[in-house]
Amino acid sequence: METKIIKITEKIKRILTERGLTLSVAESCTGGLISHLITSVPGASAFLRAGIIAYSREAKEDILAVSAKTIDTFGMVSGETAAEMAEKVRLLTKTDYSVSSSGNLGPDVLEDKEKGLVYLAACRDEKTIIKRLTLKGNRAENKEAASLAALELLVKLVEEET
């Protein structure tokens, strides 16, 4: 998987730097791994403006300004929350693109949502795309798989814009 991660992060770097575009990240279940993978590429500072780990409900509400109504209605582990995280971090950091993660990597059930359930979102302007994953590995494997899928979702959105 490491080669795949290198290829996708290099692709993100190339596309965003060529176009002079910026990126921000809002992470919950991936705990900073998406940002770590992006910053593993030399020159990421040319396009990555910020990464925020909003692990708790309070951080989602207080730092990212995700609405309490969204979380109360859909839960912290939901496509709606992931979408709002992506939209709010993009606005907060004034970036062109953003990507987010929210999910339950286990080992316990969270909000009656099974282990391995992850929602990812990527955002540009008024367009937000969401991806739902059901991962079956252990916590570390799920975290890596979710982070890679988030990067792939970002590339999908960026490529749609061309």
**pLDDT single digits (tens) 2-18:** 788 889 999 999 999 99
For the sheet with 127-134, list strands across it: 48-53, 23-27, 97-104, 117-124, 127-134
- Which domains, from first to last, does the chain contain? 2-160 (3.90.950.20)
Residues 6 or more apart from 44 whose CB is under 8 A from it?
9, 13, 38
* Residues of the chain where predicted confidence (pLDDT) is lower than 70: 1, 109, 162
- The reported pTM is 0.95
**What does the block give as tokens for 59?**
């951080």
**pLDDT in the model for residue 162:** 62
Q: Beta strands 127-134 and 117-124: pairing type?
A: antiparallel
> What pLDDT sits at residue 1?
61
Q: According to the model, what pLDDT value does residue 131 have?
A: 98
Q: What whole-number distance in Å separates Cα of residue 83 and Cα of residue 12?
A: 20
Tens digit of each residue's pLDDT (9 = 90 or more) over 77-86:
999 999 999 9
